[in-house]
Amino acid sequence: MAVPKKRVSIQKRRLRHSNSRIRLPNTVVCSCGKYRLTHNACKHCGMYRGRQIIKIKTED
């Protein structure tokens, strides 16, 4: 059986578990003022890199 030779210290254990936290996705502010994911078209205005990519229906 695999048995550890020495006890793992608290610091080593915490360092190992430090990467398992929940991270928020990277967002940027669009030209319309809303937040959007990087490298994606804006869901609110349909713009991506200064060009209209998606036609958004407006409620009139």
Domain contains 15: no
> What is the model's pTM?
0.56
Whole-angstrom Cα distance, residue 42 to residue 47?
6
* pLDDT over 80 at 59, yes or no: no
Query: Is 1 part of any domain?
Result: no
Provide mean pLDDT across the span 5-22: 92
Q: How far is CA 51 from CA 16, 41, 45, in A?
A: 44, 9, 10
Evaluate whether 56 touches 44 at the Cβ level (below 8 Å).
Answer: yes
Instruction: Show the tokens assigned to 59.
Output: 């409620």
Residue 54 belongs to some domain of the structure:
yes
Overall number of domains in the chain: 1
Domain of residue 39 covers 26-60
For β-strands 47-48 and 35-37, DSSP reports them as unpaired
Which residue bears the tokens 């990277």?
Answer: 26
pLDDT at 58: 77
On whether residue 17 sits in a domain, the answer given is: no
Residue 23 in this model has a pLDDT that exceeds 70: yes
pLDDT of the residue at 15: 93
Q: Is pLDDT of 12 > 90?
A: yes
Average pLDDT over residues 28-56: 91
